[in-house]
Amino acid sequence: MWKEMLLQLLIALLPVFLFLVWFDRPDRTRRVSLFLAVFCGMAMLLDMRLSVVLEQGIHFDLRHIPLIIGSLYGGVTVAVFLSVLYAGARLFEVLSPSKMMLLGFFMVIFIPPLIRHSLKFPQYGRIRRYKIALLLFALVFGIYIVVTIMVGYGSAPVRFWNGSGVRLAYWAVFLFGIVTSVYFLELAFERVQLQRELQDISHKYRGEVQRLQQFIDQAPLVVIIFDAEGYVTHVNEETLKLIDPLGLSSKDLLYRHFEDITHLGGIVHNSPIERNLRGEERIVEMIDFGGKTFYTVTCTIKDQGSQLPEGIMFIGHDVTELQQLKDEVGRMERLSLVGQMAASITHEIRNPMAVIRGFVQLLNERSPSEQQSYFHIVLEELDRANGIINDFLSLAQNRIVEKEFSSLHEVMSDLTPLLRADANMRGQMVETSLNQETEPLAINSKEIKQLVLNLARNGMEAMKDKGILRIETVNLEDTVQLRVVDHGVGIPQEKLEHLFEPFYTTKANGTGLGLSLCLSIVERHNAKIEVESVVGAGTTFIVTFCKPGRQCR
């Protein structure tokens, strides 16, 4: 008896054991239903084929174990397939009408709950799955009790209550087979689920590592990573760009001890690395390397779990431009302070100069005619000094000007007689070419007149005795250009970039304030000024005004 029971149990559990061997990778999840349909169907038929009748007349087989397990874990399709296979195999065995009625009773009572539970079985948790399997076992047990009590077994009835030891052994093996199958199948699915989660975690980890690697490589930072013993394990692209002009490559850094990197002594100091290895967590320094200034942070890399140091990371940020900007801002603040002080002083100087000029004029009127030329020189120099003071005050006072819509032609019509008179005294000529289609601009006429006058007089001085000064306006789509063109000596290229700096001049007796004042006026009008010059051919100053409502800067 026990041999037959063991054989039936091994056959019933064979699909489960084969499933454990086969279902070892997540990519086989899609073929689970096919596998269970085939092997559970074969086990069910084999159990039915090897069914035995014991001495008490009890039929012993475990055909229902593969039927239940295959249906629940294979899904609705497998449940229907196994149910039809079960019914066909039983019809092949059944000869008497009474047994056919028993088969029909079993199919009506057991199969619908089996299919209904197979539909939602994958959504249940582990405990719920055990309960469903035990519920179906109890349903089979109940059907057998009812059938045995009501109709018995065949023509030689052996009632359910007879042979209680064999009956208890049969149902105990049945229950053991159900519980064991569910346990091992859950173990198989849990193993694959863990593999899938591990793959997802590994995929996310690789993705995070790649993103971190790309960030380190693409970030505008010098990054060098050392292991716990001080050997270089990684350098990023910015580091390679930094060392490339030195004729070095990544091979000259990777897997080298920090003490051996003497060619990078300017950027990788021995002291912070040593201090990190001795236990300091974070060291911040400003260093100079290759003519650049770097803000550096050297810190330890720790394991998240144990908090033990795993290495050292050196990070350097090029702050050369920032440092230069900071120095420039400091210089401009000092110049601004000096300018404010100088503006106050020069403003006070004009009052005594006005008094001096008045008395010089009075002395000039009372002096002999042969001395009046001297007084005339003194008056000219006083006027020149006063003009310099006025230019300086205009440059120092960054005031807000009132603007109104006006045409450049109106400004030029007022200035042209003055410019031609000035040019005539120098033996020169002034030509104008004004585009009549230019739109009105938001300008301060007084300042624009000063701008044109300064540029025109600079051009006249550059042409010396002869030449033609040309002033023209050009109407473009979004801008209006004012061009002042001379045919003078020109300006060397190395001097062009300094041309608008205060006190910088290319003339022997210039103050260096005229073009600075022009730049200040241009900036107050949200315009821009450019210079084109060829030595020996002449210079062109181009002032570009933005038309109202246009985006041109």
Query: Mean per-residue pLDDT for 327-352?
Result: 67
| Most confident of the following: 41-50, 356-365, 487-496 | 41-50
Query: Mean per-residue pLDDT for 471-490?
Result: 87
Q: With cut-offs at 50, 70 and 90, classify the pLDDT of residue 39.
A: very high
**Mean of the per-residue pLDDT values for the chain?**
79
In this predicted structure, which of 230-234, 307-311, 316-320, 330-334 has the lowest mean pLDDT?
330-334
CA nearest to 469, candidates 516, 509, 420: 420
Q: Is 511 exposed, middle or buried (0-12, 13-18, 19+ CB in 10 A)?
A: middle
Query: In this structure, what token pair is assigned to residue 410?
Result: 């109106």
**Contact predicate 110/146, CB 8 Å:** no
Q: What is the pLDDT of residue 153?
A: 45
157 pLDDT exceeds 60?
A: no
> Could you tell me the CA-to-CA distances from 122 to 73, 119, 174, 189, 384 in Å, in that order?
7, 8, 23, 11, 100
Q: With cut-offs at 50, 70 and 90, classify the pLDDT of residue 511.
A: low
Query: Mean per-residue pLDDT for 273-298?
Result: 81
Query: In this structure, what token pair is assigned to residue 315?
Result: 């990070």
Q: What is the pLDDT of residue 67?
A: 92
Helix (H) or strand (E) run with residue 275 in it: helix 270-277
The verdict on domain 2-197 having CATH code 3.40.50 is: no
263 pLDDT exceeds 60?
A: no
In this predicted structure, which of 86-90, 117-121, 238-242, 529-533 has the lowest mean pLDDT?
238-242
Phi, psi values for residue 466, rounded to 5°: -120, 165
62-109 residue pLDDT tens: 888 999 999 999 899 999 999 999 888 888 776 667 778 778 888 899
**404-546: which CATH architecture?**
2-Layer Sandwich (3.30)
357-368 residue pLDDT tens: 787 777 777 778
Q: What is the pLDDT of residue 144?
A: 79
In this predicted structure, which of 64-73, 122-131, 216-225 has the lowest mean pLDDT?
216-225
42 pLDDT exceeds 90?
A: yes
447-463 residue pLDDT tens: 888 888 888 888 888 88
Categorise residue 57: left if φ over 0, alpha if ψ from -120 to 50, beta otherwise.
Answer: left
Which residues are bridge partners to 301 per DSSP? 311
Q: What is the pLDDT of residue 158?
A: 41
Distance between CA atoms of residues 73 and 117, nearest Å: 10
508 pLDDT exceeds 60?
A: no
Q: What is the pLDDT of residue 179?
A: 92
408 pLDDT exceeds 80?
A: yes
176-220 residue pLDDT tens: 989 999 999 988 888 888 888 888 888 888 888 888 888 887 888
Q: What is the pLDDT of residue 488?
A: 84
More confident residue, 470 or 260: 470
**219-318: which CATH architecture?**
2-Layer Sandwich (3.30)
For the chain, domain boundaries: 2-197, 219-318, 324-396, 404-546
Distance between CA atoms of residues 325 and 335, nearest Å: 15
Distance between CA atoms of residues 297 and 485, nearest Å: 55
Distance between CA atoms of residues 471 and 414, nearest Å: 14
Distance between CA atoms of residues 283 and 300, nearest Å: 10
8 pLDDT exceeds 60?
A: yes
Q: What is the pLDDT of residue 360?
A: 77
